[in-house]
Amino acid sequence: MNQTCPALIAPIESAAETQTNQIKKTKKKSYRMADDVAADCLFERLRLYQQRAPDSAEVARAITARINSRLTTHDKHVRQSTLDKLWNKQSGAIQMMLSILENSRDTATSTYITSILRETLCLKQGKGKKCSVPNEPPGVKKKEFKKTGKENKTPQAKKANNVARQQCSQHFISINGTQVILRTLVATHSKRDGNVGTELMLQDLVWILAALAPKDPKFALKVRMLGCVRTTHLILKGHFTDNKLIFPLLVIMKQLAKNAITTSILIRDGVVATYERVLVSLGFIPTARLRLCLDAIDYFSKNKVCCMQIVKTGLSSVLLRVFDRWDRYEGRMRLKICAHILQTLQHLCNIKAGRRALCTKKHVQTLHRFCSHCPDEPEFDGLLARVCSVITLCLKHQALPVPAASPASFNLNPILKGTNTSWPCHEDEDDAANSDSKTINSDLDDDGPDSDNEGIDEDIDIDFEDNETKTEITEDSDKRNTKSGESLQNALWINPNERDIEDLKKYFIYFKEFGSYNKQIRLVKSRSNSKGSIFEDFYMTQGSNNKNVPSSLSLSLTAALNNLDYDSVMGTSHSPPVGLGYHKIHESISTTSCSSLKIHKDISRYSTFESVYCTISSRVRSIISFIKVAYPDMMGGQSFNHPEALNKMDRTACRTKLLSCVDRAINPETYMNEVVYDLDALSASGSNNDVTSQKSSDNLFLGNTDEQEITKLNTFATKLSFESRFESGNLRKAIQVGPREYELILMPDVNSSKRHQWFYFEVRNMQQGRPYVFNIVNCEKSDSQFNFGMKPVLYSVKEAVLGKPGWVRAGSDICYYRNSYHYANQKSHSKCYLTVTFNIEFPHTNDVCYLAYHYPFTYSMMMSRIWQWSAQMPAGAYLRAEPLCYSLNSNEVPLLTVSADDTPTNPIADREIIFLTARVHPGESNASWVMDGTLGCLLGNSAAAAALRSKYVFKIVPMLNVEGVINGCHRCGLTNEDLNRRWCKPNPVLHPSIYHTKGLIEYLVRVWKKPPLVYCDYHGHSRQKNVFFYGCAGAESWCSNDRLVQDEPVKYLMLPALMHRISPAFALGSCSFRVERERESTARVTVWRHLGVTRSYTMEASFCGFDRGPFKGFHLNTQHLQNVGSDFCEALNGLNDNAANVDIQLTKDLNGNIVEIYLKDTSEVAVDSEAGSGSDSVLKTDSDEDFD
């Protein structure tokens, strides 16, 4: 019996306990329901009050007081249910509160409403940091929590509340809540009656603004438009010691500091002195307040007037005292505080007074002490780079040890004499933009943001991070565009300066494959079903105007026609022009090849490539006299075909080099400074009186004796020997600063003092197995792929002789950072150059080696390759090489026409036209390697090449900027202008290659009445990896009229999609199709907008390598680049212009990048899908797991 009783009693007790819990839950549920009803009644009364009795202050005060008491109660359910009502957009509670706050004159009501809004929009300060669980034995507490799981419930509830609070804030901003709070703040601050309620209301308003400011992109604009900028500053000045207000005030001021206009207002109002007092009152304790204060000072210091005030008020010394305590801080707070201070010091170095203030022994010692004791951890690398940058900037700036005037100068006056052209034109903004590109998602390479992480050094001229200034500017621009949209679009960009038909029809000589001019017109008429077209006007006016030849065009075309009688070419005769020396295609034999390039004259078709290259190079006209031919170029210039991994940055080595640079700036007398190569002196001693040509002798034959040099006895020289006087060479000066360390200075572009990036030079007298350090000290770009895995390229003559010819990636301890050499010819010497440094161990002693930024591809190599192709043509192929025009220094700009023979079953006049160009920027040699691959594929013996030739007529200008390539320039030619910013309105005298290339395309559009199916301009990209396209989509254009026109994505997306499927080097995710206002004068946008070519692209190839796909982690080599060119041909072969039968779907990531293209063919013509996939094709980017 005693044993059975407990067994009977236990179930009874359990049932009783369960029943008790159910009763409690029922009561609790009933209580909550009643409370919800009470909350609903309150908000309903508030709504009725607003509708019926808006003037009754007592009613509003009572209702808002009740709501406020519910929000401040200790009952969590009551508070939460009230917040849910306020956060719910459907309830309209926030709108009612704002309306009452704006219209009420009762202080108490306004105080209650601001308190309600603060509870609704702001997180609770100072709560939730400590555990609120009652003190119980640890074991019991843990056991209870494990049973109930409450430790997981609270974070989830908080997360949901935070999301609701964020959404409510956005809704509050959208209904102009920010403006209402700002007006209330101004009214409250103007009272200054000392009332406690007014002070509490002021606190709530400040906290509300602090919650809204980071979320409102137009916050600073609203503050300025309502005249609250100085009011905010006054509140800060009066409350900077108030612990309850200092934090939200600093948040608000930080947002105002991000805007350039509000920054100017605050600086005039004395904000720097205020922040000096705030910083002193905060002390050196690492808190969020200190970080916010330093962050705002960082933004303010981007203004040079503010920098002057920081120096005058002594704030710079206070900042350095805070920085000197860096070792007492911990965690991320230490990194942030130090980063803000160092960025401010960098901005101070932009002015002379700032550099003078920092260049005291005490301050330099403080900074140098950080360098000496900086922890060897990756997160401190950025800080160390900034400190070194500040030290080099604040020390006495050094000028580059070269004359201000470059030896590469070209006199344009004889060319411009007798024309209406003036020079210099407005110089291009030195945006250092690569190709016609901008950002990751647009076309600017160097100015825009990059996909790479922040490098070890950052540009000191940092742009404002917020979008507010940009928003204001954009809004103003949009207003102007709206008001004068038609006038803008009828201006240069939208309606360009079109050339006369009489002027354009002279380009028929470059389309001889279509017959004479009159035959071309008849073919056009036969294609057109309309009568009375413009082509009848051509025909009628041909006889009357045949002698009216514009002088600028006549000069170029008559030169291209090799002294032919111009009137006979442009005469009224219906027969083919006399003396052209070309046969009609349909009259030719199976293989037709002809080159009328003068540089190929008298070269035997049985000559070797080496002899042809030397002959052609000897005929090239250069600015600085060449003395030799570079051995790699003479041997074909290919890279060694094996995988080469990207460089892994050695942090220790980079730190050592940074500190060495600082030490050199502080103690320059301790280093050797022996000049071992000086191009200025060599050019001065070897110059002649012929200014325009500057070639020592027209009969000088250039050769190469490197193979003989490497057989000489080793002299064990103590210094290296340098040379760069060969085609595309670039090295101005070499200074030995250590036993095996050299500072190298690059040549600027011709007639310029800027644009240093491309280098190509020869080195001799080295010893095997000893590391030599090369510091190129006048780089200009704020960051480089040298910080993200790129290596320079090296060619060894001894290796080539031993049977291993080719360029290889070489170098170790590669680093890119700012130095103390300032820019020349600038009023302000605040901007300094950057250094790329690398160690090279040469493979052999007494070798002749060549170092370059990228695999060189010279003008002579291009001409030699054209000669090679013309001598070895496959059956049925047609190649015509002719000079499109002559450059300013009388070098030929070649135009190639590639197709198949004309046949009755496949008339050449019916074929689509593909127009390709390359190398408008001479430093982008990778573009020429891609073009080489394209031409090699087109003129190959494969069946695919024959099909491509029979399908299309290719018009190719393989090198637009021949002068820049010849003379080793990076971006410009002889006029110091970016030719890819001259397409909108090219000058026939200064920009002949652009003028006539555009003329050819315009002839096809307006005379031949058949625009190119595809236009592609080949470029190189110095900031991104992989190969990708930039295209043009009207839906992504800056111009509103473009966005109104219905877009056809399949037309411009088909070719990138095919490239992604075919080429493993192609990255679809890096492609962008934005049309940006600042890119309107580039080739891609001009051909798309002005000439109506939908498929107008820029193809970008990285200088570095791959970060996705099968080649991920490896460098690009010449074989990769050539394969990209041939892959492009294969994509063209699969291109189908029947876009109506293809359905296309896009998948984009959060940044707007295309990550997937889904193509579905709805007709019998498949979209080149893989076998077994049917007619559907899903093309994914390399970011997906599988790579096509």
- Residues with catalytic function: 1100
Looking from the CA of 1163 toward its CB, the CA atoms found within 13 Å total 9
Q: How many CB atoms lie within 10 A of CB 685?
A: 7
Q: How many CB atoms lie within 10 A of CB 862?
A: 22
Among residues 961, 963, 949, 960, the alpha carbon closest in space to that of 897 is found at 949
Cα-Cα-Cα-Cα dihedral sign, residues 1038, 1041, 1042, 1048: positive
Residue 915, SS3? strand
Residue 1121, SS3? helix
Beta partners for 879? 593, 898
Radius of gyration of the chain (CA): 36
User: Cβ(580)–Cβ(594) under 8 Å?
Assistant: no
DSSP 56-77: -HHHHHHHHHHHHHHHSSS-HH
Element (H, E) at 1102: strand 1096-1102
Residue type, 1003: Y
Measured CA angle at 52 (ends 46, 57), to 5 deg: 65
The residue with tokens 């509490």 is: 200
d(CA 833, CA 824): 10
Residue 862, SS3? helix
Looking from the CA of 1145 toward its CB, the CA atoms found within 13 Å total 7
Kindly give the pairing relationship between strand 1014-1021 and strand 912-918. parallel
d(CA 1002, CA 553): 15
d(CA 23, CA 31): 12
- Helical segments of 441-532, H only: 468-483, 485-489, 501-504, 517-527
Q: Is 550 exposed, middle or buried (0-12, 13-18, 19+ CB in 10 A)?
A: middle
Q: How far is CA 778 from CA 390, 445, 741, 821, 967, in A?
A: 18, 19, 16, 8, 18
d(CA 772, CA 794): 13
Q: Which long-range contacts (CB under 8 A, 24 or more apart) does 328-334 make?
A: 328/284, 328/286, 329/286, 330/286, 333/286, 333/291, 334/286
Q: How many CB atoms lie within 10 A of CB 576?
A: 17
Q: Is 353 exposed, middle or buried (0-12, 13-18, 19+ CB in 10 A)?
A: middle
Among residues 742, 690, 760, 702, the alpha carbon closest in space to that of 969 is found at 760
Sheet strands side by side (includes 1027-1030): 592-595, 877-886, 892-900, 952-957, 912-918, 1014-1021, 1096-1102, 1027-1030
Kindly give the pairing relationship between strand 877-886 and strand 849-852. unpaired
In this structure, what token pair is assigned to residue 135? 């003190």
